[in-house]
Copies of this chain bind each other. A is one copy, B any other.
Amino acid sequence: MLNNYKSGYSLSQCFYKDESIYDLEVKSIFHKHWLFAGHTSQIPNIGDYFLFEISEESIIIVRNKKNKIKAHVNVCRHRGSNICSEKYGNKKLLNCPYHAWSYDLDGLLITARDMPSDFKYKNNNLHSVNVELIGGFIFINLAKKPLSLYNFKRDLNKTLDLFGLDDLKLVMHKSYPIPANWKLAVENYNECYHCNPSHKEFSQIHMMGTDNKVFKKRKNDFHEQNKGKLKFAQFNCYYDYAQTGQEGYQYDRNPLKPGILSGTVKGSPAAPLLGNLTEYDNGASELMLGPLMFFLLYDDYIVGYRFTPLSLNNCVCDIFWFVRDDAVENIDYEINNLIWLWDTTTLADKEIISNNQKGVNSSFYSPGRLSLMEDFQKSFLDWYINTLSSYTGD
């Protein structure tokens, strides 16, 4: 199946319908790459936790007694019960509700009654997974030896500092379940060929969906005008362009439609300028880290776009909206103004992606030619096939 892939075309049907493909994706992608779990502002106090769930995994993201963010597999080492069944809360100890084994916030087993004398506590701590903070963004990785974030940080720390990533707060989180394979959702995000026909709200704010030549010309001018500025850095280290052993990432800044300052109904500001920014520049930055997480950085707010596979035929798109942490609701920002663009766009995409799955299920479906505006999607597909092909186990 993998050998029949033709770069520049969409995938064969089997990649959207075959359980064995999905199993391979779990191992070679979901358990290998960095995943966005959420934001530190969701768990401000010691003992605060939330669950991040992907496919069959449930991960407890918790703030420990030393104020560090930890991530533990939500599976008791005794007989496998979920330890936390509520999506978020506060815990002094991670007590398993089944047999009352208890773990501390670092996942160390503290109590297990009536065990045989040769039972070793130290071998029965919760499985913990790697955590990295990018500002307050919490990324986790289910692999024992995760891909490095060194290059990402080296290239982007200073640029991201401009947007005050350490001083954000999450002001809205919405989940959009999609009855389709996760790749159809990621592919949808990865190209703007569909933006003009499908998203009139997006198209009144962003230039990307309009005529490709017009957009490229404007983008060149925009970067020319802002040459040398940190905010206008460009790093295309995504997918197959990532260095071996490094997680893939991208940062780029794109022009908005003339006169547009931010992603709001009228293009007017949504919230106070982020970080150290002192002016609107009619642009927005794209940031990608790992294959399933995308951010859009306006000058005054940030949208996080997460795709999470649930099963072969179901995924969920989660959107996170961030403003600077000292902004006050209804004074500094209006929540409906803030979420309008991407809520509207995602509801439309949910329909589009569901329709795509239905068509892909047809025996008449065959891989179709990609347009010139689907280059980023092409990179995703090339990388996807490479990733599956080169997977050799743990």
Q: A10-B79, A57-B364 are in contact. Are A115 and B371 (CB under 8 A)?
A: yes
Given the complex of chains A and B, what is the CA–CA distance between A73 and B364 in angstroms? Answer: 7
Q: Which residue of B lies closest to A57 (CB)?
A: B362
**Binary B-proximity of A351-394 (CB < 8 A = 1, otherwise 0):** 11001101111111100111111000000000000000000000
Q: Is A99 an interface position by the 8 A CB rule?
A: yes
What 1/0 flags go to A112-143 for Cβ under 8 Å of B?
11111001000010010000000000000000
A81 to B358, CA, bound (A): 7
Number of interface residues of A (CB under 8 A): 56
**A359 contacts B115, C-beta separation under 8 Å:** no
Q: Which residues of B contact A364 (CB under 8 A)?
A: 57, 73, 75, 127
For A13-30 the 0/1 string (1 means CB < 8 A from B) is 000000000000010000
Nearest opposing residue in chain B for A13, CB measure: B80
Which residues from chain B contact A119 at a C-beta distance below 8 Å? Answer: 369
In the bound complex, do residue A97 and residue B355 qualify as a contact, i.e. CB atoms below 8 Å apart? yes
Q: Which of B82, B197, B371 contacts A355 (CB under 8 A)?
A: B82
A148 in contact (CB, < 8 A): no
Q: B112 contacts A74, CB within 8 Å?
A: no
Which of the residues B56, B112, B196, B362 comes within 8 Å of A363, measured between beta carbons? B56
Among A56, A57, A361, which residue has the most Cβ atoms of chain B within 10 A? A56
- State whether A78 and B197 are in contact (beta carbons under 8 Å apart), knowing that A26-B363, A362-B58, A362-B73 are contacts in the complex: no
| A residues apposed to B, CB below 8 Å | 8, 10, 26, 31, 56-58, 73-83, 85, 97-100, 112-116, 119, 124, 127, 187, 193-194, 196-198, 212, 351-352, 355-356, 358-365, 368-373
Q: Can you identify 16 A-B contacts, CB atoms within 8 angstroms? A: A26-B363, A31-B363, A57-B363, A58-B362, A75-B364, A75-B365, A79-B356, A79-B368, A80-B368, A83-B359, A99-B197, A113-B371, A114-B193, A114-B371, A119-B369, A127-B364
